[in-house]
A and B are shown apart, each in its own frame.
Chain A
Amino acid sequence: MIKRIKKRNLETTTKSMEKNHSENSGLNKSLDDNISLFKNIFKNDETLIIRGFQNKRLQSAQCCIFYLDGMVNAEIINENIIQPVLSNDLSENIESNNLLEELKKKVIVSNNVTLETEVNKMVSSIINGDTLFLLEGYDKALIISSKGGETRPITEPTSSRIIRGPREGFTESIMLNLSLVRRKIKNPEFKVKFKEIGERTHTKTCICYIEGLALEGILNELELRLDKIEIDGIIDSGYIQELIKDAPYSPFETIGSSERPDVIAAKLLEGRIALFVDGSPFVLTVPYLVVENFQSNEDYYNNYIFSSMNRLIRGFTAVTSITIPAIFLSLVTYHQEMLPTPLLLSISSSRQGVPFPTVVSLFIMLFIFDMLREAGTRMPSSVGQAVNIVGTLVLGQAAVEARLVSAPVIIVTALTGIMTLINMNFISATIIFRTFLLIGASFLGIYGFLMCIIILYLHLMSIRSFGVPYMMNVTRAKDHDGQDAWIRAPWWAMTLRPKIIAANDLVRQSSRLGKEK
């Protein structure tokens, strides 16, 4: 019902928009009429600048330009449009009768000028930061590219730091982002397809892939899903990420995002497809597998033994950050016989006088840790010290001394917290499944814990990302599948690309492959 109402509303708004435009479709030959037409369209928008001028010699060449203040590069307009039109000796240079065409060909200095007749397109190009050029006596207009406006400079992304590797990061401008990737893949097979999403925002998005590597099926599926999106606005790529996700209710991400051009370039070279969204420094990649959560771009630039070790740590901590509290709980409350006696004694002595059962104190402490984490990410940096002191002293030491919680619980919480922060990609899934496992363990001890683990893995195994099993390569060590999963094999050994994703062209290093045989 709601959907239907929404649809109707949408239809009426689009209709009214069309109506608005269709009333004044087509330009007049009179310049004054045209000016008032555009004034009418941008009625309450005071950033629209209308500048009329005429040529020195040729009095009949009365022209007028429209642009939005702040969206354009004023230098381009001054030097490449107004200056030449004003000072050029038009009466001598112009031969044919079509003055507008002559201006386009000979006078206006710009890399991109198009002749336009439709008002709709003129309006949208003004909004995009181009300049509209009207001439007295013509019902056509020139659209001159003059996009400008400030963008953020290329800086190192703060979401993930690296020690070795390229330091540039994406910005909010889609064209700049594209150029960053293109500078790394200098190949005509690098394809770029644009698409506008968002009924009101008309956000530019673009699909990038390398022809011959990316699978047609995945590409078509991505386009299909993008076509299905009907939303009024896209502000960040996160919108699209959630709208086209494979398993909508799952806390696991099946679409990757990165802020680094080198990461995106490497994924494109593996046969993946990238999706750039204007206004967002995070570029999406599909298909996205679970192992990619543990891959860092630095792995590929450092020594492979060191990288493999780091990757194993990441994988290990991802598992333990979910399981440690539940294992601790089931050992302490149900299976005390599993613990060595001295450890059991010290745990139970530290629990003396603590009012809450272990499960309650674990829940409380984990919740407090998440609160601290949230406070740490959002707070202004000047108050960081206060949070630190409160977190360490008040909640840690003082809570134990006051016998609100036992010391082992604090240790487990701290351990879990650190391990959660190692895998920030996983954080939502970690928190949800950690709680889930904790509940299971509090009901049935290690048995409940195991059942919840099985459910977790059933869920993981059932997810697919654009047709590719999410857990692919985790279980296989055969051939070339496992060499970029739990470990990072040395570059000279990675002669093949990932099997299912780059099925079109598997060979990455043909010369080495030949030697091996």
Chain B
Amino acid sequence: MQKEQLSDKEAIFLIIVFVIGSSLITGVGGEADNDAWIAVVVGLIMVMPMILVFSRILSLFQGKDLFDILTLTLGKRISKIVAIMYIWYAFHLGALVLRNFGEFINIVAMPETPMFVPLFCLGLLCIVAVRLGIEVMGRTTAYFLPILFLIIVIVQLLAIPQLHLNYLKPILGSGLIPVLKGGFSALSFPFAETVLFIGVFGSLKTKKSPFKVYYWGILISALIIIITTIRNLAVLGNMRDSFYFPSYAAVGSIKIGNFIERIEVSVAFIFVFGVFIKSSICLLVACKGIGKMFNLKDYRSIVIQTGLLMIYLSYIIYDNSMMMKYWAFKVYPFYAFPFQVIIPITIWIFAEYKARKNKMNCFSSKCP
């Protein structure tokens, strides 16, 4: 079987969808109240050095994925432990994202349907996608992203009559601390979650591209998130805290003439597709990691098992939506910090060291 290849464009699109996927459902930077959009900007600035680290790691070990890199840099034993941590992180994150979607369906769309049904359906979809591979997912994303953009732009334009920009004032009313807090939470969710792409971008084509891909992907998705956050703030105002899913509520209030109203279902497309891509990437990384751990030839043989376990974990992970919100905003930033910042920086330092040493030893990039 030939190696799967991902073009730069597809990779950028994957990052965009990955980042905006579940963050559009739950909203970002909630701690900063009506400065949430500034928090997103702060988060974007915070993530920039991390992007450098991620892409540097990728370009040092071109064509290798996260788990290969771990073995090459940290040695056999420690790398196994770190690999297990990352497998858990990917697996857990996938389950969290799935659960997000399940809560969304259960609260706004179909309260009477048991939550297991949407979870199971979307989980099956992820299993199918991961079995088909990253290349197919990339091409599918390249097909759907223009449609997603179109929906976002149209909804944004339609929302203009509902905007009350004075809701945004006073800017920095409660000082810098909440904004920084919000920025920190925006860093961990969603921006720095792209650390998982180190596990995927072994399929990228060129050597120069990881930075470009990360940079553009994060930038465009941050732009989308900033715009939608501003929209949500300006439409909902003080009420935004009473909604679990502010985007959905904001779009729901759009009303033009007597014809275009209640178009929130059109946004559902972004939600479904974003969540699907995000949890598929998580599942893919988890499966690749498990495959590497047990020296399997192909990760595809364990996708179904891992996927079903992920569905089940997502089913039992929270008791209710309050718990989800608490976890997402209070606990998750600290829980994810080691995976997103500390370990990548450690890997990067070791990787630089290894690369120097290799260069001194044999002057050839092919040396492991």
Contact = CB atoms under 8 A, between A and B. Distances in A.
A457 interface: yes
Interface stretch (A82-90, A109-117, A447-455): A447-455
A450 B143 contact: no
Given A444-B117, A451-B272, A340 B259 contact: yes
A52 B154 CA distance: 88
Given A444-B118, A450-B273, A337 B262 contact: yes
B291 to A, nearest CB: 20
A454 B139 contact: no
Contacts of A458: 128-129, 132, 136-137, 140
Interface residues of B, number: 31
B125 A445 contact: no
B220 interface: no
A454 B262 contact: no
B128 A335 contact: no
A408 interface: no
Contact of A340 (B142, B258, B269, B273): B258
Interface residues of A, number: 25
B109 A447 contact: yes
A16 interface: no
B139 A455 contact: no
Contacts of A335: 265
B187 to A, nearest CB: 29
Contacts of A338: 262-263, 265
A446 B143 contact: no
Contacts of A337: 262
A457 B276 CA distance: 13
B140 A446 contact: no
A461 B117 contact: no
A140 B61 CA distance: 72
B259 A451 contact: no
Contacts of A454: 125, 129, 140, 144, 272-273, 276
A398 B109 CA distance: 37
Interface in A398-453: 440, 443-448, 450-451
Given A471-B143, A475-B139, A451 B265 contact: no
Contacts of B113: 444
17 contacts: A337-B262, A444-B110, A444-B113, A444-B121, A446-B268, A447-B118, A450-B268, A450-B273, A451-B121, A451-B125, A454-B125, A454-B140, A454-B276, A457-B144, A458-B140, A469-B139, A471-B139
4 nearest A-B pairs in the assembled complex, by CB-CB distance: A461-B139, A337-B262, A450-B272, A462-B136
Given A338-B263, A458-B128, 16 more contacts: A334-B109, A440-B121, A444-B117, A444-B118, A447-B268, A450-B273, A451-B122, A454-B129, A454-B272, A461-B132, A461-B140, A461-B143, A462-B133, A462-B136, A471-B143, A475-B139
